Structure 1
Amino acid sequence: MIERAIQELGPWSWWVLGFVLLAAELIAPGVFLIWIGVAALAVGILSLMLWEVGFWTWQVQLVLFALLSVAAVLLGRRFVLSTSETTDEPLLNQRAESLVGRTAVLEKPIAEGRGRIRLDDTFWVVEGPDLPAGTRVRVVSTHGRNLTVESVTASG
């Protein structure tokens, strides 16, 4: 079946696959399918040049496509990660981490290790030593959406 489809479309089958993958990247963005699409287009370019050569069978094309896909994904990932810019707002999308160091008053007492504080317009679940409501605490770390706090008087 694969051999028949490739024979009917000729070297253009790889071009079709490449453009379908690039279009799929637009529908489901994730900067992943683009690299596989580039690999398919590269095999398409080679197919245009080598279609009549005896060794250019569909099996060779698939193996080359697989190798180029892996190489393109690894190189693309490296390229995307290396172009990440440093920002003046490193905690912009890390709301809980941006609260480390802030102080607040316990809204609910910490009992059995869990309580609640209000920072700005949000209530946060806190973890720490048992403390009564109204105690001033400092956020020392985060665990997912939970904040770890300690008493301000205990830390100095």
Structure 2
Amino acid sequence: MIAKIAAELGPWAWWVLGVVLLTLEVLMPGVFLVWIGVAAVLTGALSLLLWEAGWWVWQVQWLVFAALSIAAVLVGRRLVARNEKRTDEPFLNQRGQSLIGRTATLEQPIAEGRGRIRLDDTMWNVQGPDLPVGTRVRVVASSGRDLTVEPV
């Protein structure tokens, strides 16, 4: 039954599958379906060339598609990784991480491991050893909205 369906669809079925996958990538971007879509289009191109060959049955086509998909994903990941650009703002949208290393004065004492500091115009919850108000502290870590501090 599958062989009959594959024969009726012809080599254009791979092109249709490729276009569907590429369209899904546009609708749901994630840079993954694009590589499988490229593999489907390449399998379609091979099918156009080899359709009359007796050995080019649907099982071989699926194996070629699987191999091309794996190869395309691996090549695509390398291309994307190579094109990642370094930025002068590595902690953009990671405000807590950007505060590591800064010093401040405790606005509220650290009691039972919790206190508050003011950095710029924001009050931050801090964790650290118990310290009195007015102690200078350095931010050493950030976890979510809390900062971890130690005395300077």
Which of the five TM-score ranges fits, normalised by the shorter chain? Answer: 0.7 to 0.9
Aligned to 1:100: 100
What percent identity do the matched residue pairs reach? 68
Paired residues in the alignment total: 152
Deviation at 1:2, TM superposition (A): 4.5
Gaps of 5+ in 1: none
Aligned to 2:90: 90
CA spacing shift, 1:75–1:137, aligned 2, 3 Å: same
Q: How does 1:1-156 map to 2 (within 5 A)?
A: 2-152=2-152
In the alignment, the residues of structure 2 paired with residue 121 and residue 8 of structure 1 have an alpha-carbon distance, to the nearest angstrom, of 69
In the alignment, the residues of structure 2 paired with residue 147 and residue 47 of structure 1 have an alpha-carbon distance, to the nearest angstrom, of 59
Q: Tell me the amino acid that sits aligned with residue 14 of structure 2.
A: W
In the alignment, the residues of structure 1 paired with residue 113 and residue 43 of structure 2 have an alpha-carbon distance, to the nearest angstrom, of 59
Deviation at 1:5, TM superposition (A): 3.8
The alignment partner of 2:147 has SS state of strand
Cα-Cα RMSD: 2.0
Q: Deviations over 1:99-127 (max 9, x none)?
A: 11222233443233333333334443322
TM-score normalised by structure 2 residue count: 0.86
- The answer to which of 28-37 and 140-149 deviates more is 140-149
Gaps of 5+ in 2: none
Q: Tell me the amino acid that sits aligned with residue 98 of structure 1.
A: S
